[in-house]
Structure 1
């Protein structure tokens, strides 16, 4: 993926992002990461020292206090007020972000009673049952199943092979403890606006009259499993393969690392950070706590956390 510097400059001016740069910058640059550096790339850099930038003939978005301490062939766009990573992501969204095509594939089966918003995209081989509401600009990837009593609000993206409203399992022994009595699962699911659910996500519906709820602007990486009646707050992030037991509550702005497992009926407060692979067996005591370990223990959040976006203040 490449961008011409003219396009980058036009974007910055369009969005009133103040900057300064050398008037001689021209040409196209490949969007690239410093984890896989290439020459003639387009990068952001949030540090202040150019010595570590081991690429040539490339373009960097940098902060206003960035200093070039060695001769090189790179060019720099100095952002006077904005964060380089923030602006870089906005540029990527503008030119390469996922937008609904408004096309419903002929190979998908959508019940006639489904309430579809405007500009909904449904890819191949999806099945959507009755009593489902899908909001404007929703994108549903191929091979997804949406069970009845599910609501997906506007601007949400559901990636391939995901299931919304799956049936959970709850049972008791009969009086002689010879047979299991299986409880029907009658509840629903609500996914609020601007969410992203990665591939192979499974959201189990509420068990009786409750809804399993995913809060607005929450992001679930591939492979997450959300138990019946669980409630995720707004702006929650789950890394890949997080599993919650039934009726788990995760507060607003929480960040949960890869492979975390919650026992049922756990409640963690807003702005909680959970480390990779932790097993959560008890509630948090208050907001702004760090959970890590097996079983997880509670700690104060440190000023510098790695492997995640900057925590919500």
Structure 2
């Protein structure tokens, strides 16, 4: 178990990202997704990550149904702030106090719970002072509707401002062998302040699962078809990078995904990766990484094979919504 933040909850070493069960990675299968969630709980995984925008709304409803009889085993982390229109397109980021309360009430209803364990600001609203947003979030804690607060894709300065209003339990940001930006300063700040770190996309959105090659083409309902890292010359360069990682995985007799997750886990006991999956088989493969320990020589080799900035292409086609 790992503690999220100085005074936060205890999480199994690896959490479960549930986004892909309802959107972004092709069609979902609620029955298999429910089996995956139940198997995760059976294995000791207790952190389930979702957001109101996934679906939209469908993912929270799925998790609510899946854990209804096992609520005491689960840390439910959900997010707010990305507002979609009727077509499912994100039209704005909203951190206004009125919206914070409205969004929380909706999530509580869809999840079928009285309290959200970790409530996370999904993206920073640049038109609303972070102090106003976090003041409203702090009120939800006082009212017992939320236990802990978090923020996603926030700069060091923004984290400090939010933390001055109410303790930040965790910051959630993309982090993997191919997305190492948090090591440039964010992780140092979080450790200074006693804040935990939730690493989303620790398998590089599938790039590090070892099953994508240079000829892979993604259908229109898979949002990787829009991401710079997954097309053309960028994809070819990134597959070559993963092939170098694969050589070490083969020597260890483990999968590329397991090696990639073991690397994230080795970066600190304050880090909890939340690989996303919607199948029991992939879940079991991922969770097995919690039993792996990498040697110093292996960690140095991975640093040389996949140094910071080695991945080709940006994480998103438009990085303007990331508070960096």
**Shared fold (TM-score greater than 0.5)?**
no
What TM-score, normalized by structure 2, do the two folds share? 0.25
- Report 1 or 2 for greater relative contact order, CA contacts < 8 Å, sequence distance ≥ 6: 2
Which has the larger Rg?
1
Larger relative helix fraction: 2
